Amino acid sequence: ATNKLWGGRFEASGDENIDAFGASINFDQLMAAEDLQGSLAHVEMLQDTNIIPETDAKQIIQGLKSLQQQLAAGKLKFDTTNEDIHMNIEALLTKEIGPVAGKLHTARSRNDQVATDFHLYLKKRLPKIIQAIQELQRVLVTKAEANIETIMPGYTHLQHAQPISYGHYLMAYFYMLQRDVERFEFNQQHTNLSPLGAAALAGTTFPIDRQQTTRKLGFDKPYSNSLDAVSDRDFALEFLSNAAILMVHLSRLCEEIVLWSSYEFGYLELSDQYSTGSSIMPQKKNPDMAELIRGKSGRVFGDLFGLLTVMKSLPLAYNKDMQEDKEGTFDAVKTIIPSLKILAGMLDTAQVNSEKMAAATEKDFSNATELADYLAVKGIPFRQAHALVGQLVLEGLKTGVTLQEIPLSKYQEIMPEIGSDVYHDLQSKIAVERRQSLGGTSFAQVKYQIAEAKKILDKI
């Protein structure tokens, strides 16, 4: 036998490099609190089912509670020779209470233990993630409300398309994030299953009470199949895909923040608190944080792909490959929460240059659709109206004359029915105001969206 916890059937110790290579303690110590929590629920159940004597159980409970206190005080020291958090805790417990600690692992395996810890870890973080998304949503709604009548160019292909309300633009991100919230909420259902009691893979001969540990740990229900319980990482994959989609959203918003704080756009000015300078160019004020969030989307996508690839060919049930499930997941949690917080602060403190936004819609042709619509209302088939306006735009681009500047006499040559009211429709503010269709950019529709959003946020 060797001196490992599992050393009984071994004659020789491992190669000197394998301890370090195989160990996960450097990262899975992040689940120390969850491991203790899981062990406490397990030992209380072992006591209540008389699987181990009450006096032993009491000692173990006391020992685990003492370890909880030491952990909270930052006094627990972990060690790579004990491989992972589970064996480190068991070793520490043994130091604390002696060999009776060995009874804790009755009717349990590290396979259901690690799965339990990992479920508990995410179960605890998901509400925090949802909360951080909602904080960003609140900022978006507040800013949207302040900017219902702020006019800006709406883009397709990054070319001026039609004028829109800046509030409308912000609300698009609100709804995107709402779908993220819903995805993470759904993610909670699959995270709230208890693997504890699946043991190594097949269940156990001991008369354990899985319902009790399920309740004790705050899970909704136990996994129905022990093989599935120890080999499922869907809850983490779902989390990572949700995180990846969330980062797509944050990255798109950050891309626009970067563009809009450039000299050429000048729509936004970030506060000093959320900007950085250059070590050589004294004039610089860089949107580093927006760029970094955009960049960090890459690592979260990597986290998702890492775990998908780890899982894709694993035979049932547990395989050591699955130890690779944690770092990427921890990394994604560690990335998305601060990204959300920084972005919320950045948007909250950014200065909106509404004149510059509106001016960008004055001298362009983003009101061309208005003119085509006007002609269509007068009875010209829309296709023909589109072609006519297209010609006017081409001419205007050559001569530097905007659609508002074309004299009425010229319009009436094209079509006598055109009246001076055409100039009213051509104003970008009016173009926005008139887009009253459901979900459109009109001020009334944006207000409607804001009211709906507040109802969603108030329910929290």
- The first and second tokens of residue 319, run together, are 């395989």
Residue 35 or 180 having the CB closest to ligand ARG: 35
Residue 111 or 441 having the CB closest to ligand ARG: 111
Q: Give the chain's length.
A: 460
Q: If you ran DSSP here, which 8-state letter would residue 286 be given?
A: B
- The first and second tokens of residue 21, run together, are 């290579």
At closest approach, how far in Å is the CB of 310 from ligand ARG?
Answer: 11
Amino acid at 425: D
Annotation says 278 is catalytic: yes
341 touches 252 (CB < 8 A):
no
At closest approach, how far in Å is the CB of 96 from ligand ARG?
Answer: 21
Of 36, 55, 35, 54, whose CA–CA distance to 45 is shortest? 54
Residue 191 or 231 having the CB closest to ligand ARG: 231
At closest approach, how far in Å is the CB of 326 from ligand ARG?
Answer: 6
Instruction: Indicate the helix (H) or strand (E) that contains 94.
Output: helix 85-97
**Beta-carbon neighbour count of residue 233 at 10 Å?**
19
Annotation says 157 is catalytic: yes
Pairing status of strand 351-352 against strand 268-269? antiparallel
Residue 118 or 301 having the CB closest to ligand ARG: 118
Amino acid at 387: A
296 burial type by CB count under 10 A (0-12 exposed, 13-18 middle, 19+ buried): buried
Q: Which of 119, 278, 339, 386 is catalytic?
A: 278
219 touches 118 (CB < 8 A):
no
At closest approach, how far in Å is the CB of 42 from ligand ARG?
Answer: 15
At closest approach, how far in Å is the CB of 116 from ligand ARG?
Answer: 11
Residue 166 or 235 having the CB closest to ligand ARG: 235
At closest approach, how far in Å is the CB of 88 from ligand ARG?
Answer: 10
The DSSP code sequence of 95-151 is HHH-GGGGGGGTT--HHHHHHHHHHHHHHHHHHHHHHHHHHHHHHHHHHHHHTTT-E
Q: Which of 157, 224, 279, 420 is catalytic?
A: 157
Residue 34 or 84 having the CB closest to ligand ARG: 84
Pairing status of strand 268-269 against strand 221-222? unpaired
Of 113, 115, 168, 111, whose CA–CA distance to 357 is shortest? 168
At closest approach, how far in Å is the CB of 117 from ligand ARG?
Answer: 9
HSE, side-chain direction, 13 A CA sphere, residue 273: 10
| Own/partner pairs, 217-222, CB within 8 angstroms, 24+ separation | 217/37, 217/38, 217/41, 217/116, 217/120, 218/123, 218/192, 219/119, 219/123, 219/192, 219/193, 219/194, 220/189, 220/192, 220/193, 221/192, 221/193, 221/194, 222/193, 222/194, 222/195, 222/196, 222/197
Taking the C-alpha atoms of residue 442 and residue 151, their distance in angstroms, rounded to an integer, is 11
At closest approach, how far in Å is the CB of 237 from ligand ARG?
Answer: 16
Taking the C-alpha atoms of residue 346 and residue 421, their distance in angstroms, rounded to an integer, is 42
For ligand ARG, the binding residues (CB under 6 A) are: 24, 28, 84, 110-111, 114, 318, 320, 322-323
Taking the C-alpha atoms of residue 348 and residue 143, their distance in angstroms, rounded to an integer, is 7
Return the active site residues: 157, 278
